[in-house]
Amino acid sequence: APTDVGLPPEFKTAIDAFVTENPVVAFIKGTKEMPQCGFSNTVVQILNTTGVPYTTVNILENDMLRSGMKAYSSWPTFPQIYIGGEFFGGCDIMIEAYTKGELNEALEAALNA
Amino acid sequence: MVSEEDVREAIAAHLSDAEVNVTDISNGCSTSYRPGSLPTNRCGTGFEVQVVAQAFEGKRLLERHKLVNAALKDIMPNIHALSITRAWTPQQAAAA
């Protein structure tokens, strides 16, 4: 479970709603058109390959979002990918899941839910 | 400045009998990164980590990565990028 220490309740509520309303969300450095880091770019390229609609959030634009998402996800780095309202992992997990076909399974499950 | 040895020791201290490989990849990312171009500027300290540990037994990849992240909690603020390219049990390592 995410650690709630130092995480404002309204922040948690807002992110809960956001990742539920948007089945595939990547919190990245930069945008999907212009990723600002190689790791974020890798995730964008993988998601582009799958052909599913997805949303990106640029964590470089907001320091509170940047620190808040680390606490919300219990994950210290970016990118952070949410699928079906649940934290799926970072860049390395995306690469492995994509390679093994597990990413497509997770995406299909989330988009058909 | 965090060193490869700092990362290796932190993981070994938290995951008993872990076999740890750490590679400095500080040049692997850049704030001026553009798709299709080679990264040029360092934007921080980065490491690639490979871990083989019994503690991973019965855990999904996300949980395994969280164990490694937890081990590095104290030095993570000084690490820009962490890439965990292997989180295997000794059995998986033997079969590879």
pLDDT at A46: 97
pLDDT at A93: 95
Taking the Cβ of residue B29 and every Cβ of chain A, the question of whether any pair is shorter than 8 Å is answered with yes
One pLDDT digit (tens) per residue for chain B, 96 residues: 789 999 999 999 999 889 999 998 876 554 445 555 544 444 567 899 999 999 999 999 999 999 999 999 999 988 888 899 999 999 999 998
Which parts of chain A register pLDDT below 50? 1-4
Helices (H), chain B: 4-14, 61-71, 90-95
Q: Do A88 and B43 touch (CB under 8 A)?
A: no
Contact between A88 and A29 under an 8 Å Cβ cutoff? The reply is no
Q: Do B76 and A87 touch (CB under 8 A)?
A: no
pLDDT at B44: 62
Q: Per-residue pLDDT tens for A57-72?
A: 999 999 999 999 999 9
Q: Do A36 and B73 touch (CB under 8 A)?
A: no
User: Does ipTM top 0.85?
Assistant: no
Query: B72 to chain A nearest CA, in Å?
Result: 10
Give the C-alpha separation, B52 to B62, whole Å. 15
Q: Cβ neighbours of residue B71 under 8 Å, at least 6 residues apart?
A: B10, B11, B13, B14, B15
Give the C-alpha separation, A20 to B92, whole Å. 35
Residue B69: which of A36, A37, A75 has the nearest Cβ? A75
Domains identified in chain B, total number: 1
pLDDT at B46: 86
Q: Do B33 and A38 touch (CB under 8 A)?
A: yes
Contact between B57 and B17 under an 8 Å Cβ cutoff? The reply is no
Give the C-alpha distances (Å, rounded to integers) separating A102 from A19, A50, A58, A99, B56: 20, 12, 26, 8, 19
pLDDT at B78: 87
Return the CATH number at B88: 3.30.300.90
Taking the Cβ of residue B75 and every Cβ of chain A, the question of whether any pair is shorter than 8 Å is answered with no
Q: Which residue of A lies nearest to B28 if distances are taken between CA atoms?
A: A38
Residues of B in contact with A76 (CB under 8 A): 69, 72-73, 76, 82
Owning domain of residue B57:
4-95
B64-70 long-range contacts, CB within 8 A, separation 24+:
B65/A89, B65/A90, B65/A92, B65/A93, B66/A74, B66/A75, B67/B14, B67/B15, B68/B11, B68/B15, B69/A75, B69/A76, B70/B14
